[in-house]
Each structure stands twice: as C-alpha cells, then as structure tokens.
Amino acid sequence: MDRIEESLDAIYGTPPVGAEVLERLHHSVQQWQEAIWYDALRDSAVGPLLVGVSDQGVVAIEFGKDEAGFVRELEERHGVSAVRSMERVRETMSQILQYLSGNRRSFNLDIDLRDSTQFQRKVLEAAVAVPPGFVATYGEIAARIGKPKSSRAVGQALARNPIPIVVPCHRVVAADGSLTGYSGAGGIETKASLLRLEGATIA
C-alpha cells in the first residue's frame, strides 16, 4: 500500500494545505474566465459611472472614479484582462440608469461574489434582501446572518461592497436610524439621495 501511495504522490504531487489550497483553487477559477468586461459613462445621477461584469454576473460598480484606476483594480482583483465592451455591459448599465432615473425599483441581474469571503457574501446577500423603501440596521443584518454580535464586522463588509446600488448597502443604517458610512462618491449625501429616490423615511 505504501508503494501505491508513493506512486500516486509522484504522479500527482502532494497537495498543499490550508490557505495555499484556497489560493490555487481561486487561481484556477479565475483562469476559466476569459476576461472582465466593463463600460463607463462620463456622467450619471451619481457622477461618472463604471460597471464591470464577468461571465457569471456583475462584479464591480463604481461612481466618481477614474476609468484607469477602475480598470487597474479589476485586473488586479480578477487576474484577467479588463476589456471595454458596451454590448457585454449593456443590460447592467441600462438597469442601473433606469433605477437612477426612478423608473426601476429592483434589479434582475446575476451578481458574481466569488472574490468575497463567506462572511462578506452572507452580509451582502442580506443587504440585497432589504426591499426598496425600507432600511435595516447593522445589528439587524448581523442577526439575520446568525452573527448577532458582529455589527462592526457587518459595517466593514458593507464598506467593501464591490457592487453598490445593485447590492444596496445604502439601505443599512445605524441603530438610531442615522446614516453612517457610505464609501461611494458623495458619501452620506449620496446614501441619502438613494434612499429618498426609493421613498425611504430617513432620520
């Protein structure tokens, strides 16, 4: 039996353990992907708007950021080239613009959160579940994901939300209802304007 195991090790190599396994798996997943496609608008209701999509869904939305920086971050995060393609991004961009003009309340888009940790995914998915016109507190999101003492970590995960607006982190507020912590361009003023657009009552 030992000789068989040694032979198998010689053929396949001894598998790495721990974080190295995850890193290699992540790298392999990225290689299945041909590219990240993106498009940019110079102006929108939230300023310059940049959107990135993968073969599995929306991966990035930024506003108020320069195109070169957006492309650089996409390529560094995903390990593939970022290619500008109006056609690939058309539906996502269209739905976002409909939302910003008040003609859409929710999104019918796939989202790609492969680069997020399991905790981050749970937080972002809980944020998606908050309907337009309503808000939830950081503590409520923490309770919904089964981590009632993780309000601060929830806030940190939302601050790193790669898909704002579509993943509505703007609907998550402080325990007293006040608006805190919005990483998008315009900060809290943008957060307030998005909530008003949805008809939410804010403090």
Q: Which CATH number describes the domain made up of 118-198?
A: 1.10.10.10
The answer to whether 33-100 and 118-198 have equal CATH topology is no
Question: What does the pLDDT average to over 147-162?
Answer: 94
Catalytic site residue from 135, 169, 173, 200: 169
Q: Enumerate the domain spans of the chain.
A: 33-100, 118-198
Classify domain 33-100 at the CATH superfamily level. Methylated DNA-protein cysteine methyltransferase domain (3.30.160.70)
Supply 59's token pair.
């991966």
Vertex 34 angle, CA 83 and 123, to 5°:
85
Please provide the average confidence, as pLDDT, over all residues in the chain: 85
Whether residue 18 is predicted with pLDDT greater than 70 in this model: the reply is no
What pLDDT, on a 0 to 100 scale, did the predictor assign at position 177? Answer: 86
SS3 at position 170: helix
What pLDDT, on a 0 to 100 scale, did the predictor assign at position 73? Answer: 93
Q: Is 198 a catalytic residue?
A: no
Global confidence as pTM: 0.80
